[in-house]
Amino acid sequence: MFRGKNYKESAKLIDRTVLYDAKDAFELVCKTAKAKFDETVELHVKLGVDGRHADQQVRGAIVLPNGTGKSVRILVFCKEDKVDEVLAAGADYAGGMELVEKIQKENWFEFDTVIASPDMMGTVGRLGKVLGPKGLMPSPKAGTVTPNLVAAVQEAKAGKIEYRLDKTNIIHCPIGKVSFGADKLYENYAALIAAIIKAKPTAAKGQYIRTCVTASTMGPGVKINANKQI
The 10s digit of each residue's pLDDT in 190-203 is 999 999 999 999 99
Q: Is 103 helix (H, G, I), strand (E, B) or coil?
A: helix
Q: What is the DSSP string of 71-102?
A: PPPEEEE--GGGHHHHHHHT-SEEESHHHHHH
| End-to-end Cα distance, the chain | 35
| Secondary structure element (H or E) that encloses residue 201, with its range | none
Residue 207 banded pLDDT, cuts 50, 70, 90:
very high
Q: Is 220 helix (H, G, I), strand (E, B) or coil?
A: coil
Q: Is 210 helix (H, G, I), strand (E, B) or coil?
A: strand
d(CA 138, CA 27): 35
pLDDT at 48: 94
Q: Does the pLDDT of residue 230 top 80, yes or no?
A: no
Beta bridge partners of 42: 174, 215
d(CA 118, CA 5): 51
| Residues present in the chain in total | 230
The residue among 87, 113, 109 whose CA lies nearest residue 99 is: 109
Q: Does the pLDDT of residue 146 top 50, yes or no?
A: yes
Q: Does the pLDDT of residue 161 top 60, yes or no?
A: yes
pLDDT at 2: 47
What digits encode the pLDDT tens for the residues 51-93?
899 999 998 999 999 999 988 999 999 999 999 999 999 999 9
d(CA 66, CA 188): 6
pLDDT at 229: 58
pLDDT at 153: 96
What digits encode the pLDDT tens for the residues 96-143?
999 999 999 999 999 999 999 999 999 999 999 999 998 899 999 888
Q: Does the pLDDT of residue 9 top 80, yes or no?
A: no
